Chains A and B, each alone.
Chain A
Amino acid sequence: MSSLSMSTEVPVKKETKDHVNKSVVYDTKNLNLWYGDNHALKNINLPMHENEVTAIIGPSGCGKSTYIKTLNRMVELVQDVSISGEILYRDKNIFDKNYRVEELRTRVGMVFQKPNPFPKSIFDNIAYGPRIHGIKDKKILKEIVEKSLRGAAIWDEVKDRLQENAYGLSGGQQQRLCIARCLAIEPDVLLMDEPTSALDPKSTLKVEELIKELKENYSIIIVTHNMQQAARISDKTAFFLNGEVIEYDDTDIIFSTPSDKRTEDYITGRFG
C-alpha cells in the first residue's frame, strides 16, 4: 500500500493564533486513497483540533465525503479501496494492523447524509450503542437515553413516545435522533457527512444550532456543500478540489481573504 513515492513535499500549513492551546485530535499525513485506479485523495495533510468545528467544503466529487469516511475507516466498506499514508487519531495511526476499528468507531461517531435510524423504537435506537458495548442495566440505559436526547435537543419532542417506531419522526427529527444515537456512547469526535442535505431549512437551522452547542464538548468535522453553512458554524475550513486540499485555514480567513485563487472562485460561486 505504501509503494507510492512521495515526490512532492506538501507545504506546511501556517499555524494560526488559537491553535496553540488546543490539542490535535486528528492528524492526517500524506494520505492517498484509490478506488481501483481512480486516485480519489491525493496527499492530504490536515491537522484537526479539539473542540472545534472543522468544515470541509468543495464541489461534488472532490473527495470530501471520501475523506470523512476515511477518518473512521468506513470507506473500507467500499470494494477495491487502497490507502497509503497515515491518519493519527489521538497520536495513534488508525491504519495500524493492531488498531481495532470498532474501538475507533466507538470513540468517533458518525452522522450520515440521510438520516438512518434503525427500524426500532426511539428508545431502542438510542440504547443500541450502549447495549452493544455491554450496558444492560435498564436504569442506566434510561438515563443515557434521556441525556442523549436532551443533548441532541429532541427530548421535548419525543419524551412521550419513546416506545414508538423512529420512522414515525420527521426527517429533521430523525437526523437529530441519529445525532443522539452517537452521543449515547459519549464519543470524542463527531463526523458529519452533509448532515442537513436531506432536510428542510427549518430542520437545518435546528441541526446547525445543535452543532454549535455540541462544540463545547466534542470535536466536530462536518462535510457540507453549503458554503453559508460552513461560514455560519465552523471555526476552520478546508477546501477540497479534485482530491486535494487547496486551502485550510480559519473560516473567517477562507471566506474573506483566501490565499488561493481557486478557493476564491469557489466561494464566490464562480464554479462548483
Chain B
Amino acid sequence: MQKTVSIKDLIRKDNNKNKLKMGVEKTVPFLLFALASISILTTVGIVSTLLYETFLFFRDVSIIEFFTNTEMKPLSRVEPSFSILPLLSGTVLISLVAMLVAIPIGLTTAIYLSEYASVNVRKAVKPVIEVLAGIPTIVYGFFAFTFVTPLLREFIPALQATNALSPGIVMGIMIIPLVASLSEDAMNSVPKAMREGALALGATKLEVTMRVVIPAAISGIIASFVLGISRAIGETMIVTIASGSSKNLTFDITQSMQTMTAYIVEVTSGDAGAGTTAYYSLYAVAFALFFFTLIMNMFAGYISRKYREAY
C-alpha cells in the first residue's frame, strides 16, 4: 500500500515546533527594542554632555555677552573675548549662498527628471547626479580653494583668497543632488491619475507641474530644502579649507569668515588646553549649532504640515 502524506499531519508536525517559535517571537521585540534604543541613548548622551559643558562655559562667560558681543578672540592671552555672532554670520551667510545655488538648480533638475525627461534620459542622468553626492567633501573643499576662488577673482578683484562666496557656491553644488533626488522622489510619487485629471482639463504640461504636481509634493520638496540647509549648516570641510578663519562679524561675502563648524575644527586642532574657557566654548558653539538645526527641522515640519496636500 502506498503511503500517503497528509497535509494535516505535516502541519501537526510543524505545530510541535511551536514552543521554539513562540520563544523567538517573544525575544525578538526585546532585541529590536534594545538595538533601537542605542540611537536614542546616544542622542540623549550627546545632548546632556553638550548641555553640561555649555553650562560650565556660561559660568565663565555671561550668556548675554556671548550673544551681544561682536569680538571673538578665544585664544587671546591679553583679553580673550567670546561671541557667537561672527561665527553665526559666517554660517548663515555661507549657507545662504549655498541654498541660493542648490534650491533653484536642484528643484529645476527634479522637475525636469520627473515631468519632462524620457525614461532613458532619466536612467542616464540620475546616476550621474548621484555621483556628485558621492564626492568626499574634502575634494569639494580644495576644489573651492584652488579652482573656484581663483576663477571668481578674475571677475571680482576684491575677493579675498579665503571668502564666503566660493565655498558657498561649491557647497551649493554639493547639495544639488540631495535636493534634486529627494524632490524628484516626492514628485514622482504623485499619482499619475492626478496629472491625467489636469491634462484632461486642457492644462499644459507646465500648468500640471506648477499647479498640481508641485503642490501635491510640497511637503517632500520642503523636506529636501531643509535637509539641504541642515547639511549646509553642518558642513565643515569645505569651509575649513576655503573660507578662512577670520572671526569677523560681516555680511560681505568677499571677506574671509569662519563658520561655527570651522571654529570647532580650529580650536580642537589648536592649542586650547582642556578645562580652559576656549575649550568650553566649543561646547557652547556646538550646542548652538545643534539648537539651530533643531529649530530648522521643527519649522520645516510645521511648514510642510501646513501646506500639505494629502492624497
A74 to B200, CA, bound (A): 7
Cross-interface CB contact of B215 among A72, A103, A120, cutoff 8 Å:
A120
**Cβ–Cβ contact B199 & A116, under 8 A:** no
Please report whether the interface of chain B is mostly helix, strand, loop or mixed according to DSSP: helix
Over the window 160-187 of chain A, the binary record of Cβ atoms lying under 8 Å from chain B Cβ atoms (1 yes, 0 no) is 0000010100000000001001100100
Confirm or deny: B212 has a beta carbon within 8 angstroms of a beta carbon on chain A. Answer: yes
In the complex formed, the residue of B with least CB distance to A121 is B309
**Cβ–Cβ contact B201 & A77, under 8 A:** no
A185 to B309, CA, bound (A): 24
**Cβ–Cβ contact A185 & B201, under 8 A:** yes
A-contacting residues, B109-139, CB 8 Å: 119
A129 to B203, CA, bound (A): 8
A182 to B215, CA, bound (A): 21
Cross-interface CB contact of A185 among B193, B196, B197, B202, cutoff 8 Å:
B202
**Cβ–Cβ contact A116 & B215, under 8 A:** no
Over the window 74-95 of chain A, the binary record of Cβ atoms lying under 8 Å from chain B Cβ atoms (1 yes, 0 no) is 1001010000000000000000
**Cβ–Cβ contact B216 & A109, under 8 A:** no
**Cβ–Cβ contact A128 & B211, under 8 A:** yes
CB proximity of A248 to chain B, nearest CB, Å: 25
CB proximity of A175 to chain B, nearest CB, Å: 12
Given A119-B216, A120-B215, A167:B310 Cβ within 8 A: yes
**Cβ–Cβ contact A116 & B202, under 8 A:** no
A261 to B119, CA, bound (A): 44
Confirm or deny: B273 has a beta carbon within 8 angstroms of a beta carbon on chain A. Answer: no
A79 to B134, CA, bound (A): 33
A-B pairs with lowest CB-CB distance, top 10 = A106-B202, A119-B309, A116-B193, A119-B311, A110-B200, A105-B202, A129-B201, A116-B197, A102-B202, A132-B207
Q: Chain A residues in contact with chain B, CB under 8 A?
A: 72, 74, 77, 79, 102-107, 109-110, 112, 114, 116-120, 128-129, 131-133, 165, 167, 178, 181-182, 185
Sample of 17 more A-B contacts, CB < 8 Å, known A77-B199, A119-B215, A128-B201: A102-B202, A104-B202, A105-B202, A109-B200, A109-B201, A116-B196, A116-B197, A117-B197, A118-B194, A119-B310, A119-B311, A129-B201, A129-B202, A132-B201, A132-B202, A167-B310, A167-B311
